[in-house]
Amino acid sequence: MSRIGKNPITIPEGVTVEIKDNLVTAKGKLGELTQEIEDITVKIEDGIITLERPSDINSHKSKHGLFRALINNMITGVSEGWTKELELVGVGYRASNQGQKLELALGFSHNIVLEVAPEVKVETVSEKGKNPIIKLSSLDKQLVGQVAAKVRGFRRPEPYKGKGVKYVGEQIRRKAGKTA
């Protein structure tokens, strides 16, 4: 059996999970998420969700762990939410936001303006003497990761000086420069 798929999911207080026609819906204090399930049976008993697969075919094995992880991420999202923090490392690199518009100055000849999805909450923090930080938060883990990867893709951290957009806590492998 799938090691991830056979783990049961406990439903925290304040979260309701409903299963109707291969559609799992999770409602919590932060909002509501739905996920379509195929080939896997989902059971809810005493606040614990278990997933079972019909056979040991490779496609069923892979979907078993996948849908368990997706349902767990939905439940965590509607109860606690997901956040990603990005750090801008470099002289003159700045970030500001007006509502859902994120404006980035990353050393190009022009500023980059990114319209962020309305489900993702954007916050920028700029303190003197510290690198600017962009905080992205939402109840959908996939959407937060996608927006964070898009922002990071504008200027990836380079290995020689370490400049660029990186995740907070990410270690950049540094290389030695040219020897004289």
Q: What is the pLDDT of residues 84-142, one digit of tens each?
A: 999 999 999 999 999 999 999 999 999 999 999 999 999 999 999 999 999 999 999 99
Contact (Cβ atoms closer than 8 angstroms) between residue 23 and residue 32: no
The CATH architecture that domain 9-79 belongs to is Alpha-Beta Complex (3.90)
Q: What is the pLDDT of residues 32-83, one digit of tens each?
A: 999 999 989 999 999 999 999 999 899 998 899 999 999 999 999 999 999 9
Reported as a pLDDT band with limits 50, 70 and 90, residue 17 is very high
Other Cβ atoms less than 10 A from the Cβ of 156: the count is: 12
Superfamily the domain 82-167 falls into: Ribosomal protein L6 (3.90.930.12)
**Looking at residue 174, what DSSP letter applies?**
P
Q: Where are the domains of the chain?
A: 9-79, 82-167
Q: What is the pTM of this model?
A: 0.89
> What Rg, from alpha-carbon coordinates, does the chain have?
21
Q: How far apart are CA 149 and CA 165, in angstroms?
A: 10
The DSSP-derived string for 115-173 is E--TTSEEEEE--TTS--EEEEEES-HHHHHHHHHHHHHHSPPPTTT--EEEETTPPPP
Two domains, one topology: 9-79 and 82-167:
yes
Joined together, the tokens standing for residue 179 give: 């020897």
